[in-house]
Amino acid sequence: MLRKVNQLVNSLRRVEAGESAFRPADATVGALEKFQPVARALAHAKHEGLIGRCELPMESVKGRLLYSAAYVVSGLTYKGAEFLRREATFQGRFVRYVVPALKWGLTAAGGAVVGALVTRALA
């Protein structure tokens, strides 16, 4: 779930920065499959009203329909901009307050080794 949210946020940040054409890295089936999470995130953003008009052409590959590109025509909506603003606020608070509390709690409860592992995992 977190990976899907991150993909959505990353895709919206790219739209916010002015990117409008999203395509696979090359014309191979592997690149097309790796592109699907980005395209699905943009399709979801369109459905939820986070971006305006977005064209998502598809092609059939070995009997499966896959997104072949995504063209964002009208950028972020107000709702999309607010979503990114809230996401940035949440991430800032999480890093500022929750991570140190977790580190402290695990260090106190489980020793320095567990605290170091959590610190490394969250970095």
For the chain, give every domain's residue range: 2-76
> How many Å separate Cα 38 from the centre of its chain?
8
* pLDDT above 80: residue 97: no
Q: How far is CA 71 from CA 7, 14, 40, in A?
A: 17, 12, 13
b/e sequence 93-103, b meaning 16+ C-beta within 10 Å: eeeeeeeeeeb
Q: Percentage of residues in the chain with pLDDT exceeding 70? A: 69
pLDDT value at 99 more than 80? no
Mean predicted lDDT score pLDDT of the chain: 84
Q: Which CATH class is domain 2-76?
A: alpha beta
Identify whether the C-beta of residue 80 lies closer than 8 Å to the C-beta of residue 51.
yes
Which tens digits make up the pLDDT trace of 80-96? Answer: 999 999 988 866 555 55
Longest dimension (CA), the chain: 55
The one-letter amino acid code at 95 reads V
